Amino acid sequence: MILVTGATGNVGGHVVSQLLNRGVAVRALTRDPATAALPDGVEAVRGDLADPASLDTALDGVEAVFLLWPTLAADHAAAAAVERIAGRARRVVYVSARGVSDDLERAPGSILGSHAYLERLIRGAGVEWTFLRPGGFAVNTLLWAPEIRATGVVRRSHGAAGRALIHERDIATVGVLALTGDGHAGAVYELTGPETLTQAEQAAAIGEAIGRPVRWEEVPPENTLRDLVASGMPAAMAEGIVAAHDAMVTSPETTTATFEKVAGVPATPFRQWAIDHAGDFR
């Protein structure tokens, strides 16, 4: 039995379906089993990572855990949650983030600091672990979907920022290999897509996928910051994202070959991701 956390989300949803395809028994942790859209054959169990005592039912009889952490929101409960998980499961595959290093300090309010903290807790918990450190998710570009649907124009800053965005399914593929196979204990997999595209090129690729041109219109960084905060993102996080994109104009993200090495097939190009998600942009 494998427990998948984040099972109703981007990455965890693919982990669930890939495990089912392999005939593995899957249990999904969710805060609300009544509304969780999960495939047939998955046992949905209520639990909240921010409330470690609520995890016991979900952890009963579990061999391995796919752990996706709700960064920052549940950090106060991380030590107790990891201890509980390690007390039951033999193996944990943790979704961390590219940019985390083994010696990164835990900076208050920072996503990378939160992942570094979780990695440290898991390393010290006496459980077999594998860390996935993906770079930016292609699915982040869904933020543009409302304006693409309405106008066919993306009005953002840093159209020249180069990113090696990864398909959420590829992250899940490596996670499933680490959950179900041997040889991944103690491995840290830095995962990216197969190519670096500028944000303007990503918008154009979405246009090709939906059969209608999508144009990038450059606006000042302050506008992007304002839009991100208006979408509900904490200001510090929005500032971090804008600063990171600023840096990626002059230092585009590099790709890694890790996905192909581990999975034995090439990573999915952004253009294919856009085709897979065309319905979200039409």
Ligand X SMILES: NC(=O)c1ccc[n+]([C@@H]2O[C@H](COP(=O)([O-])OP(=O)(O)OC[C@H]3O[C@@H](n4cnc5c(N)ncnc54)[C@H](OP(=O)(O)O)[C@@H]3O)[C@@H](O)[C@H]2O)c1
Site stretch for ligand X (CB under 6 A), options 5-13, 56-64, 204-212, 270-278: 5-13
- Rounded to a whole number of angstroms, the CA Rg of the chain reads 19
Cβ–Cβ under 8 Å, residues 67 and 94: yes
Name beta bridge partners: 221: none
- Closest-approach residue to ligand X (CB): 9
Q: Left (φ > 0), alpha (ψ -120 to 50) or beta: where does 61 sit?
A: left
Give 61's contacts (C-beta < 8 A, 6+ positions apart). 1
Query: Residue 64 interacts with ligand X (CB under 6 A)?
Result: no
Stretch that binds ligand X, among 120-128, 135-143, 212-220, 223-231 (CB under 6 A): 135-143
Among 48, 128, 239, 280, binds ligand X (CB under 6 A): 48
The distance of closest approach from Cβ of residue 222 to ligand X in the complex, given in angstroms and rounded to an integer, is 22
Residue 197 Cβ vs ligand X, minimum distance, rounded to whole Å:
15
Euclidean distance between CA atoms 177 and 123, whole angstroms: 20
Distance CA 124, CA 146 (A): 43
* The one segment of 28-36, 178-186, 213-221, 224-232 that binds ligand X by CB under 6 A: 28-36
**Among candidate residues 227, 258, 77, 60, the one with its CA nearest the CA of residue 158:** 227
How many Å apart are CA 81 and CA 74, to the nearest integer? 9
Give the residue with the Cβ less far from ligand X, 7 or 148: 7
Among 2, 12, 169, 242, binds ligand X (CB under 6 A): 12
- Which range, of 42-50, 82-90, 120-128, 246-254, touches ligand X by CB under 6 A? 42-50
User: Which residues contact ligand X (rule: CB under 6 A)?
Assistant: 5-12, 29-31, 36, 48-50, 68-71, 74, 95, 97, 111, 134, 136-137, 140
